[in-house]
Structure 1
Amino acid sequence: MEKTRTAARIIIVDDMIQLTEVIESILRDNGYTNCKSYDDPEEALRDIIEDSNVGLIITDYRMPQMNGIELLDRARRIGRELKGLIVSAETSQILAQKPVYPVMEKGEYSRIVNYVKGVMS
């Protein structure tokens, strides 16, 4: 296990909580211990608004309450510089929309960790 890398919080959002737990576990194993997972994007958004220490949001695209792009857009409207990453099984459909956020395939955990290392350093 690597030493703790960051104090900024990483928020992970997916309506399938098992997937958030996998990503959170992998990030913790790589030294990113200040992570919190949510299966409800509305709840995540409330906490993002209240927690000025959030630096990165990793989110699924397709969720019942709102999609990942909507979540990231709403989170950015609070006026802080937040980084966002969409992790989805539907990358080709999302990329066709030309999103302003990076998109990675679910299961590409080493790419996700490398992205986190790049934006949280």
Structure 2
Amino acid sequence: MAVNIKHQKHLAARRSSQLRRQKRGRKKIFGYPERPRLVVTRSARHMVAQVIDDVAGVTLVSASTMEQDVRALDGDKTAKAARVGELVGQRAKDAGIEQVVFDRAGNQYHGRVAAVADGARKAGLSL
């Protein structure tokens, strides 16, 4: 049983570290109506990208790997993350959004997080 408690403490420490990094970045990053915030949420299995107007407190567009057309793709998680970036970029362009502020939410700009950003750039968004 002691191993389980140790593991829980480890997970709690990791989560608090990520929240601290996220809060540090959020002090500098804010989404305005003319340049909203593109936030990337990363889990072990999925990626979610949302374009958020922080002034109004609303999500303008979003895309995730849980959508049927992205789930059907062959390839690894990085390829699916790139497709999520393309989808959110395409939907943002359709909504009239040209520029966004990229919020990596405490994650390293590496791997799947970078793939979402590259996909959004490929769709025509300026990060």
Which of these two proteins has the greater Rg computed from alpha carbons? Answer: 2
Tell me the TM-score normalized by structure 2: 0.34
More helix by share: 2
Tell me the TM-score normalized by structure 1: 0.36
